[in-house]
Amino acid sequence: MKERGKIWMNGRLVPFKDAKVHVLTHALHYSTAVFEGIRCYKTATGPAIFRLSEHVDRLFKSAKIYSMKIPFSKKEISEGIIKTVQASGLKECYIRPIAYYSYGVLGLTPTPNKIDVAIACWEWNTGESSAGKTQGARCKISSWLRIDSRSQPMQAKAASNYANAALARVEALKDGYDEAIMLNYHGKISEGSAENIFMINKGQITTPPLDAGILDGITRDSVIRLARAEEIAVTERDIDRGEIYVADEVFMTGTAAEVKSVTEVDNVAIGDGKVGPVTLKMQKVFYQASRGMDDRFSDWLVPI
Ligand SMILES: Cc1ncc(COP(=O)(O)O)c(C=O)c1O
């Protein structure tokens, strides 16, 4: 990671190298943190943050689920995000706000600790999410089941959800795949390790519903809205593992991944094994909307 600009910590911009936490920080030991991943894109009228208010809302919802009272208002966090991007001088970046139980009392109970908030941003080079952008990603159905909301609230974007996701991701990479697809406790398709999933049949899109134990992805919501605006039907329903193998097309969505095509699952070619026309269309319309090239969705972008 290139250290560039500053990091916002509890309301102050501090130099990148000074944004440190104590080794006995509660969140480091017990995963008591909630966070967001947000993108700032270069547009013709300057850098703009994609769906900022939705991300800030989700951060506060995640915190509420974990009884964390963020000691800043949504407005203050939004302004902090904008200031952090401005201080970086970057035209495009990935932004990571995080709220966490801090240092003070180290036992399982988090609540005696104060909540700290940090916001960082850095240059995004597609790195781990490059597969699926220009050629299709090869995915593996993970042997790890996606944790279920009976065990952990999956609507929260909580650090604790990502141990399960990391196991799936690492297993897929070790087995020579690009990404994992996880089943839920009912054996239905849930999501990737950091993406929502969609399949296409006869030009129509299907995606698992939120009660499949998935994150309420902001890119998922954007793609559903874009598809409907393009008069492509979208249905939310449970998807069986077998349906994925015989789908015409499969793609995944996420802030990092954007719209990434999947052309192989468990060594089975999806459709003809090439990136399909609906995926290409959704990649194009998402690109245009996120880069300020689609007036219908200009309110998704906050100029900085
Ligand atoms: C588990 C999981 N599902 C889905 C997503 C996609 O969500 P979003 O589009 O809001 O980035 C993410 C990414 O943050 C994720 O981590």
**Domain CATH number, residue 71:** 3.30.470.10
Q: Is 174 an annotated catalytic residue? A: no
Of 92, 125, 158, the one marking the end of a domain is 125
DSSP conformation class of 177: -
Domain span at residue 261? 129-290
Q: Are 231 and 249 in contact (CB under 8 A)?
A: no
For 178-201, write each residue's pLDDT tens digit.
999 999 999 999 999 999 999 999
Closest residue to atom 5 of ligand 1, CA basis: 195
What the block records as the tokens of 135 is 């050629």
User: Of 125, 149, 167, which one is at a domain's C-terminal end?
Assistant: 125
Q: H or E element: which one contains 77?
A: helix 74-88
CA 230 – ligand 1 centroid, Å: 23
Question: Do 163 and 285 lie in a common domain?
Answer: yes
Q: Are residues 147 and 275 in the same domain?
A: yes
Q: Name the catalytic one among 140, 157, 188, 260.
A: 157
Q: Within this chain, do residues 22 and 112 fall inside the same structural domain, yes or no? A: yes
36 CA: nearest ligand 1 atom: 14
CATH label of the domain that carries residue 204: 3.20.10.10
Q: What would the two tokens of residue 229 be?
A: 């605006």
CB 161, CB 147: distance < 8 Å: yes
Which secondary structure element, helix H or strand E, spans residue 139, and what is its range? strand 137-141
If one counts the domains in the chain, the total is 2
* Residues 20 and 154 grouped into a single domain: no
Ligand 1 pocket, CB under 6 A? 37, 165, 191, 194-196, 215, 217-220, 253-255
Question: Do residues 206 and 86 share a domain?
Answer: no
Residue closest by Cα to atom 15 of ligand 1? 194
Q: Residues 182, 245: one domain?
A: yes
Is 304 part of any domain? no
Token pair in block for residue 153? 């609230």
Among candidates 14, 40, 15, which has minimal Cα distance to 304? Answer: 40
Say if residue 135 is in the same domain as residue 280: yes
Could you tell me if 133 and 83 lie in one domain?
no
pLDDT tier at 125 (50, 70, 90 boundaries)?
A: confident
Q: How many CB atoms lie within 10 A of CB 298?
A: 13
Residue 117, helix vs strand vs coil? strand
Residue 298 lies in a domain: no
Are residue 139 and residue 110 in the same domain, yes or no?
Answer: no
**How large is the greatest C-alpha to C-alpha distance in the chain, in angstroms?**
57
Q: Using the structure block, give the residue that is written with the tokens 């134990």.
A: 213
User: Which of 61, 95, 129, 196 should be mutated for ligand 1, with most atoms under 8 A from CB?
Assistant: 196
Same-domain pairing of 148 and 262: yes
Each residue of 90-111: pLDDT tens digit?
999 999 999 999 999 999 999 9
Q: Which of 105, 125, 145 is the last residue of a domain?
A: 125
Q: pTM of the predicted model, to two decimals?
A: 0.96
Q: What confidence tens digit (pLDDT) does each residue in 205-247 have?
A: 999 999 999 999 999 999 999 999 999 999 999 999 999 999 9
CA distance 225 to 229: 6
Q: Comparing 205 with 4, which gets the higher pLDDT? A: 205
Residue 128, pLDDT above cutoff 90? no
Burial class (CB in 10 A: 0-12, 13-18, 19+), 258: buried
Q: From the CA of 55, how far away is ligand 1's center (Å)?
A: 11
- The pair phi, psi for residue 299, each rounded to 5°, is -75, 0
Do 218 and 76 have their domain in common?
Answer: no
The answer, yes or no, to whether residue 54 has pLDDT greater than 80, is yes
> Are residues 277 and 138 part of one domain?
yes
| Smallest CA separation from ligand 1 atom 2, residue | 194
